[in-house]
Amino acid sequence: MEESSGRRWFLKSVAAVGVAAPAAAFGADPQSHHHRELVSQAGSVKGQSQPQVYGWLTQPEQAFIEAAVARLIPADELGPGAKEAGVSYFIDQQLAGAYGTMARNYKQGPWPEGTAQQGYQSRLMPQEVYRAAIMEINAYCSGRYGKVFEALWAAQQDEVLGDLEAGKVALESVGASFFFGLLLANTMEGFFADPIYGGNRDKIGWQLVGFPGVAAVYSEFIDKHNVPYKAEPVSIADLQQHAVAVDEHGHPLHVLLAKKD
Amino acid sequence: MATKLKPVDVVVVGVGVTGAILAKELAETGLKVVGIERGQMRDTYPDFQMPNAHDELKFQRRHELMQDLSRETITFRNNKDETALPMRYLGSFKPGEGVGGAGVHWGTQTWRFSPWDFETRSRTVARYGKNHMAEDCTSQDWGVTYDELEPHFDMFERVYGVCGKAGNLKGKIIPGGNPHEGPRSREFPLPPMKMSYAAALFTQAAQSLGYKPFPVPVSTPSKVYTNPYGLTMNACVYCGYCEGFACEMASKGSPQTTVLPVLMKNKNFELRTLANVIKINLDPAKKRAVSVTYVDSRGREFEQPADLVLLTSYVFNNVRLMLHSGIGKPYDPVTNTGVVGRNYAYQTPSSVTMFFEDKYFNSFMGAGGLGMAVDEFNNDNFDHGGLGFIGGGFIKSVSSGARPIEVRPLPSGSPRWGSAWKKATAHYFNRNFALALQGACQSYRGNYLDLDPTYRDAYGLPLLRMTFDRHDNEHKMSLYITNKAAEIGKATGPSKMNVNPRSGKYTIVPYQSTHNTGGAVMGNDPSTSAVNRYLQSWDVPNVFVIGASAFPQNGGYNPTDTVGALTYWALDAIKNKYLKNPGSLY
């Protein structure tokens, strides 16, 4: 016990030192303007004024997650990525709420490790997993590269993420590949979930794959074979705020995009 | 101390697909019926309305309509030498919670089990000899035949508004339907749905190989439909938010759309929600149930006396309540004696996914069960001689509606993240479709349900423990039929194809199907079944246990239609036999 808490304190110190350098990220994120431009270039749907406020993540955690999700789903020639889609805000909200605290999950012990077939058996809730793992990964990065994760070059970040995925990094509190799996799953959720949850800003994820969001009535389209149906995606907010016309059952009347493929 | 309530005639434990039907029919005979449900009341309005009905995160990822595991779950292990650990997240299967049960979020495939399914052991032995089944395989006959159930299948399909095309009308094979199905007394109540591009490509490919594709029977009406109870369902609009979701259109067969509006008006029926039944109380001789004990949302304990107790919750709670209450002898895998918990089975799903460069599927459109299927490799429809396994499964095209958090398959070997992942996902999201195989699962001596020695629910009661793995029979079967599906897949002309037969140890992590079966199986022999052919407890005749818990093993079809048929079959026995002369029906 003594040893373990001592180690935790050491890790905290390393993390605190590590994040001192890019502290400019706190408050005004120098990259955010650039990314907002990307969004407005790519988005054919009018921008939504979503609050970009973190409620639960600490500043080093915010920086880590912004950097990590930007590698998992990068901004590239296909358009903006997970960071621009607000996925870090999505994760923040999820960790603070029912998901992060396993409100609808079985939480009683004991917690032996179990087999892979038995699934999630961590004593930690997702919000605790993120807190512990990010601190330990930043300590690992500081030891190996001399910098915390978000300060690394993109290629180095990819290397760290790949090593986490492959379980090659020895973390103290949680398995590396376990944490990576959680981070990747939550990133995909944030990129593709309805924007109501803080991610998928301007429906970036839906536009990427050609998903129309809230469905319209497809009765007259389902049997039009090999005819692409490309619509401006519609979100729950669009409907609640009456930004989109609806039919008698509340399905949106999709605005079809001009044919181009 | 429990508050003792005024006696009623019938208590129904769990108000889902089976409970709603039984409560409605028995209340109409004049009996006083109380339905006790652990979850909340839920209905098309206001609970399932637009636009929030179309929220993938809330329903598919956070399981809003499904069982709250913080209060109650199961524990799981692959074999009895391991320590079972609690299922902390939903994964492999997704039981419902609340009025309507899993009947709210099911995917609506409404298949009849085949005549062979009900006589698995005797027909296998007759055709292939005794040694064709594994020594530890405990699959058995049901004690009821397809022909006996036929009128009850028919009734359930009329109530739930099922679309399809008969392939066998009173023994006559009808083109366009499933030539391998059991004989139907009449055509489906509704014509098939419109078919997607994926279904059309599958149909062509299957026909080119000499198979007989037919529309998957589904309970999403192809047009406006009024059922025998006078309730009207809307036509499905192919929105693609079906399985895992509730229907905003009242276009899915569910207790809410097909039964409850009539039931709730009946003065003989009372619904008690947020009430968790923890025990069926027996008389001192343990021959008769006298009451049920439940805990309400304020923690108060009530004892509800009743003459007849119907266990109509999901497989797990039917079995768990029997074990907690001492109804029937618990199964012991070491001595292979006892019956409650015996013959737990599941299913052996597999898939083939085809990727295309030049075809566009609008993958987000669809309905839960929408597709075409072939049944050539199911049941005993093909010669199993020399194959080393029994059973099979249907092969169907999938057009359920792809929501992008969960359904964005990529060719095997594609990266899971980064720019290359992004490029492949953008390209293939609407340029793929899958074939799903509903592989059967036999029962075995080592697969069973009992009470966990360590983990407890919110009421301090032991959780149900599942000990389960698939056997060689299932893996061989899955490989064989999945390769057959791959031939069909290849004939659709894809650029790439993933072929995923089921192999390796069973894991409770990825979703497979909410088709858990057994544990309180039916039969004609009290030493190998917990309930008789009328789903009546052998030991406590005023308790009936109704649901997929009665399946002695699992077939190569989705189970709901057969659960529905068993419900009407048991109802018929209760109404026309038991009520006239209460006591054992066997």
Closest by CA position to A236, among listed B248, B51, B64: B51
pLDDT tens digits, residue range B348-373? Answer: 999 999 999 999 999 999 999 999 99
**Rounded CA gap, B497 and B501, in Å?**
13
pLDDT > 50? residue A28:
no
What is the pLDDT averaged over residues B444-460? 97
Of A74, A192, A197, the CB nearest to B419: A74
Chain B residues near residue A229 by CB distance under 8 angstroms: 362, 365
Chain A CB within 8 Å of residue B423 CB: yes
pLDDT tens digits, residue range B300-343? Answer: 999 999 999 999 999 999 999 999 999 999 999 999 999 999 99
Across the interface, do A106 and B68 touch by the CB < 8 Å criterion?
Answer: no
pLDDT > 90? residue B118:
yes
Of B56, B76, B455, the CB nearest to A118: B76
Across the interface, do A213 and B54 touch by the CB < 8 Å criterion?
Answer: yes
**Burial label, B510 (beta-carbon count in 10 A; 0-12, 13-18, 19+):** exposed
Q: What are phi and psi of B77, to 5 degrees?
A: -150, 160
pLDDT > 90? residue B285:
yes
**Burial label, A158 (beta-carbon count in 10 A; 0-12, 13-18, 19+):** middle
* pLDDT at position A12: 36
Q: What is the mean pLDDT of chain B?
A: 98
Of B85, B196, B419, the CB nearest to A121: B85
Chain B residues near residue A214 by CB distance under 8 angstroms: 50-51, 54
Tell me which chain A residue has its CA closest to the CA of residue B428: A209
* pLDDT at position A23: 31
Q: A52: pLDDT confidence band, cut at 50, 70 and 90?
A: confident
Taking the CA of residue A17 and the nearest CA in chain B, the distance in Å comes to 29
Taking the CA of residue B359 and the nearest CA in chain A, the distance in Å comes to 6
Which runs of consecutive H residues, i.e. helices, occur in B345-471? 419-428
Instruction: Identify the sign of the CA torsion A195, A201, A202, A208.
Output: negative
**Residue B453 is encoded by which pair of tokens?**
């020695």
β-partners of residue B354 are B433, B497
Alpha carbon A237 to chain centroid distance?
Answer: 20
Q: A19: pLDDT confidence band, cut at 50, 70 and 90?
A: very low
pLDDT > 60? residue B374:
yes
Is B74 strand, coil or helix? strand
**Residue B401 is encoded by which pair of tokens?**
């509606």
Report whether B333 contacts B343 (CB < 8 A).
Answer: no
pLDDT > 80? residue A260:
no
pLDDT > 50? residue A40:
no
Chain B residues near residue A231 by CB distance under 8 angstroms: none
Active-site annotation of B, residues? 515
Q: How far is CA B172 from CA B166, B181, B186, B379, in A?
A: 10, 11, 11, 20
- Find tokens 């199986």 and name the residue: B521
Window 444-463 of B, Cβ < 8 Å to A: 454-456
Chain A residues near residue B85 by CB distance under 8 angstroms: 112, 114, 118, 121
- Find tokens 């909410």 and name the residue: B514
pLDDT > 90? residue A61:
yes
Report whether B135 contacts B446 (CB < 8 A).
Answer: no
Chain B residues near residue A165 by CB distance under 8 angstroms: 416
Helix H, strand E, coil C: the string for chain A is CHHHHHHHHHHHHHHHHHHHCCHHHCCCCCCHHHHHHHHHHHCCCCCCCCCCCCCCCCHHHHHHHHHHHHHHCCCECCECCCCCCCHHHHHHHHHHCCCCCCCCCCCCCCCCCCCHHHCCCCCCCHHHHHHHHHHHHHHHHHHHHCCCHHHCCHHHHHHHHHHHHCCCCCCCCCCHHHHHHHHHHHHHHHHHCCHHHCCCHHHHHHHHHCCCECCCCCCCCCCCCCCCCCECCECHHHHHCCCCCECCCCCECCCECCCCC
Taking the CA of residue A234 and the nearest CA in chain B, the distance in Å comes to 10
Q: A50: pLDDT confidence band, cut at 50, 70 and 90?
A: low
Chain A residues near residue B91 by CB distance under 8 angstroms: 119
What is the pLDDT averaged over residues B544-558? 98
Whole-prediction pTM: 0.93
Across the interface, do B54 and A115 touch by the CB < 8 Å criterion?
Answer: no
Q: Measured in Å, how far apart are chain A's first and last C-alpha atoms?
A: 61
**Rounded CA gap, B337 and B331, in Å?**
6
Task: Please enumerate in sequence order all residues whose Cβ is within 8 A of that of A7, keeping only pairs 6 or more positions apart, or say none.
Answer: A172
Which runs of consecutive H residues, i.e. helices, occur in B40-171? 44-47, 56, 115-118, 120-128, 146-160
pLDDT tens digits, residue range B391-427? Answer: 999 999 999 999 999 999 999 999 999 999 999 999 9
pLDDT tens digits, residue range A128-173? Answer: 999 999 999 999 999 999 999 999 999 999 999 999 999 999 999 9
Across the interface, do A209 and B197 touch by the CB < 8 Å criterion?
Answer: no
* pLDDT at position A32: 38
Question: Position B15: which residue type?
Answer: V
Q: A30: pLDDT confidence band, cut at 50, 70 and 90?
A: very low
* Mutate which: B90, B362, B397, vs A, most A CBs within 10 A: B362
Of B55, B77, B248, the CB nearest to A194: B55
Chain A CB within 8 Å of residue B286 CB: no
Q: B388: pLDDT confidence band, cut at 50, 70 and 90?
A: very high
pLDDT tens digits, residue range B56-115? Answer: 999 999 999 999 999 999 999 999 999 999 999 999 999 999 999 999 999 999 999 999
CATH tag, B3-578: 3.50.50.60
pLDDT tens digits, residue range B206-238? Answer: 999 999 999 999 999 999 999 999 999 999 999
Reading across the β-sheet that carries B432-439, which strands appear in turn?
B214-215, B372-374, B393-397, B432-439, B348-355, B496-500
Q: What are phi and psi of A227, to 5 degrees?
A: -110, 105
Closest by CA position to B300, among listed B459, B71, B456: B459
Closest by CA position to A81, among listed B189, B235, B418: B418
Q: A8: pLDDT confidence band, cut at 50, 70 and 90?
A: very low
Pairs of residues, one from chain A and one from chain B, whose beta carbons lie less than 8 Å apart: 200
* Mutate which: B238, B456, B461, B505, vs A, most A CBs within 10 A: B238
Window 74-113 of A, Cβ < 8 Å to B: 74, 76, 78, 81, 98-99, 102-108, 110, 112
Report whether A171 contacts A8 (CB < 8 A).
Answer: no
Percentage of chain B exceeding pLDDT 70: 100
Percentage of chain B exceeding pLDDT 90: 99
Window 9-68 of A, Cβ < 8 Å to B: none
pLDDT > 90? residue A37:
no
pLDDT > 50? residue A7:
no
Q: What is the dihedral of CA B261, B264, B265, B270, to 10 degrees?
A: 170
Across the interface, do A74 and B405 touch by the CB < 8 Å criterion?
Answer: no
**Burial label, B166 (beta-carbon count in 10 A; 0-12, 13-18, 19+):** buried
Chain A CB within 8 Å of residue B224 CB: no
* Mutate which: B237, B372, B406, B408, vs A, most A CBs within 10 A: B237
Closest by CA position to B339, among listed B145, B539, B567, B514: B539
Question: Position B228: which residue type?
Answer: P
Taking the CA of residue A100 and the nearest CA in chain B, the distance in Å comes to 11
Q: A259: pLDDT confidence band, cut at 50, 70 and 90?
A: low
- How many CB atoms are closer than 10 A to CB B505? 12
Q: What residue segments make up the domains of chain B, in order of their start? A: 3-578
Report whether B89 contacts A105 (CB < 8 A).
Answer: yes
Window 69-98 of B, Cβ < 8 Å to A: 69-70, 73, 76-78, 82-83, 85-89, 91
Of B62, B70, B83, the CB nearest to A112: B83
Taking the CA of residue B78 and the nearest CA in chain A, the distance in Å comes to 8
Closest by CA position to B546, among listed B10, B17, B9: B17
Tell me: ipTM over 0.90: yes
Window 220-249 of A, Cβ < 8 Å to B: 221-223, 225-229, 236, 238-240, 246, 249
Chain B residues near residue A80 by CB distance under 8 angstroms: none
**Residue B556 is encoded by which pair of tokens?**
């190569």
| Bond prior to A110 in cis (omega within 30° of 0) | yes
Report whether B162 contacts B188 (CB < 8 A).
Answer: yes
